[in-house]
Structure 1
């Protein structure tokens, strides 16, 4: 390439160096061996991709390459610096702030106001409900002396100990106990129908009681509190399971039933059938062999 052509078509520093290398018939590998650098460095210089080169070595590689091709290093070096400065100019990576329109500004204010109103409403509801529950609990405690479990709640004696289920006497004297007592008194005083039997329980301490009638109907499955008396009517036989049987007095048609004969580890299981005497235990004793 002559000087006239160079003036007509300006060459970049990399293009000038590549043209000089090709004019001498040298390959990229030949130049890399002579300059003791990698082929990637030669390609980056010729492609004017100076950002791939470390700033410390960039100027030295370009000068050495120009001197190797007998090209004025000052000409190539100045053009290289200008190209690198243009390509490495700092650019803002953040978009310019967009000015909010009047409609956008009012929409944002309305959204903030609506969110604040919603949060305030929820806070008021929570506070109001908490105050209501506190008043209800205070009325219940002042009336019964303590909080009592609902009558329909059944507690398994295998899960909680009987001592932990005790409640003060003032709570046991509440409306639930009075209702039970009224029902039991009515059953005990009412005349028995033909074939019916009256079963009565007197508990001196908390005990778990389960009573099943002849048709499989469950007459009772509950924790009987100490001091309570309960009565049941139905056809015989009755299958009973009583936890803490030592605290229970059992009566069938007014006659006392001895639970100690049917208890093991203070748990009694027996069947009451007035037609068969005496009360049968669920554990069948071994019969001695009969002599022939």
Structure 2
């Protein structure tokens, strides 16, 4: 007969707090099933590729391409299946070494000064110059026609009142009609057909943006603050990565992209010549 604790009482205390907590992928998968959604449904709702959704549900974050993208995907997927993303992000940071430090702005600007990017033609300036030239030519023709007609009626003490004449036929009927187009929109609309032109504007907040040409050469890698914009041009293809796609407005080959990007969503996009289509 033993005195003291029984063998059952001598078993080591089992801390099940961490063991009972499901993995990130398991939590997302269970929430998706509970919401009655398939992987295809989640991919369509979030614009996150099916392969990445499946990998995250299997706790494989390598296809995300880094901690910044993984955290963005987790936030987007959690909201799609009606989960609070904060606990999942905290769990991810605990398991992967903490939240990534933000990229300091100064080194980015320093890098741009050291390695100036090779820019394409400034189509905005060209269009503004063309509009000014046309307006100046029409105005000069009208003034010249009025001067020629008024000179015949000139008397001592100053020119007599004359009735304003219409421009001579040599003006080519180029009298401007209607309001002048906004120079920026005109430049976008006049994007050359033999190139792909992409304008990225941070309209609803700030976002990290990276852009590469068809050779994989980095055109830009930095933070766009709200109100800032960048224009990229290549002979065949522009590859984009948007850190917060919901804050971005895109114009591609002269056309506005009306995709409903979600706030905080990370988007990888490719555009080519012609009608804007995501590659």
TM-score when normalising by structure 1: 0.30
Larger radius of gyration: 1
Question: Which structure has more RCO (C-alpha within 8 Å, separation ≥ 6)?
Answer: 2
